[in-house]
Amino acid sequence: MTGHVLGIVGATGAVGQKILKVIDERVKNIKALRLFASARSAGEKIAFRGRLIEVEDLEKASFNGIDYAFFSAGTEVSEKYAKRAVEQGAIVIDNTNAFRMHPDVPLIVPEVNFHAIKKHHKLIANPNCSTIQMICAIAPIHRVNPIKRIVVSTYQSVSGTGTEAIEALKSQSAQMLNDENPTVSVYPHAIAFNLIPQIDVFLPESGLYREEEKMVNETCKILESKIAVCPTTVRVPVFYGHSETVNIELTNEMSLAEVQNLLNKAEDVVLVDDPANSGYPTPLEIQDKDEVFVGRLRRDMTLPCGYNMWVVADNLRRGAATNAVKIYCKMCKMTENCK
């Protein structure tokens, strides 16, 4: 089996590098691999399976001959180049916000709503990282007992912003440990030893920040349009891994054991729930893993059908790269070629 010709747009970025790593781990046979980035990174050579692949200038490159292209270079780049890739024959799996809410573009979490892929016109959207991990944790419950309302607070690592934010956290931490005032960059406030309840731009009509709006709209598109979602998204001084407190109100009452059983049987969900012995997932411990980890599962004592949980996942892998590669593996029906 020769596999496909794959392309990665944004190959030198944090998500692009994770996509490359996940492809190496999960896809056995590849016919060819092409890497794209801005002119600034063009000409760099990236190692892959024993050889060096030169990064191409996206502005000048052609997508002719590419079967599947993974886009991870930002919304503006996808808006400018993704349709060109489709016109030149590629199926695009886009990791940005460019097309997620377009009615003709399926928004896919493979374990949850892969059936929606039939609507694709060679363009498929990857949901937002914070949405993906929450959906993976609650969808197994929603299938048997519909969710009426979700209240979610996120604690999102700086790697969700990119390499500049990782460097900002490092440098600001060093400054503060040396009793220096931190140099504010990337975010509107210093992130070291701090919390910032703002992710993306403010939307005055709703009072939400855009990251919060994404969680509302994407959850309703993937699961059920009538679910009420109340999000608060917070940037925290963690390098990798997003965490969430999720409160759900179900249509019907269930025992805690029934909820635990659903999560234990769910694909790529790991229940780590032994609070008496400090057994719960943390972002440091789940780094570089593909599963969604759930802990602190308990009844909401204020609601007959309410339940609380703590959800943690690696945002660059489960929340981006792994989701995209799993879409590819299921789309091309090459399960024997994918781990």
- Positions annotated as catalytic residues are 129, 242
SS (H, E, C) the chain: CCCEEEEEECCCCHHHHHHHHHHHHHECCEEEEEEEECCCCCCCEEEECCEEEEEEECCCCCCCCCCEEEECCCHHHHHHHHHHHHHCCCEEEECCCCCCCCCCCCECCHHHHHHHHHHCCCEEECCCHHHHHHHHHHHHHHHHCCEEEEEEEEEECHHHCCHHHHHHHHHHHHHHHCCCCCCCCCCCCCCCCCCECCCCCEECCCCEEHHHHHHHHHHHHHCCCCCEEEEEEEECCCCCCEEEEEEEEECCCCCHHHHHHHHHHCCCEEECCEHHHCECCCCCCCCCCCCEEEEEEEECCCCCCEEEEEEEECCCHHHHHHHHHHHHHHHCCCHHHEC
Asked whether the CA dihedral 304, 305, 311, 316 is positive or negative, the reply is negative
CA distance 330 to 326: 6
Q: Could you tell me the two tokens for 36?
A: 């794209």
CA distance 308 to 298: 5
CA distance 63 to 77: 14
Instruction: List 253's β-bridge partners, or say none.
Output: none
Question: For the stretch 249-261, what's the b/e string if a residue is b when 16 or more beta carbons lie within 10 angstroms of its beta carbon?
Answer: bbeeebeeeebee
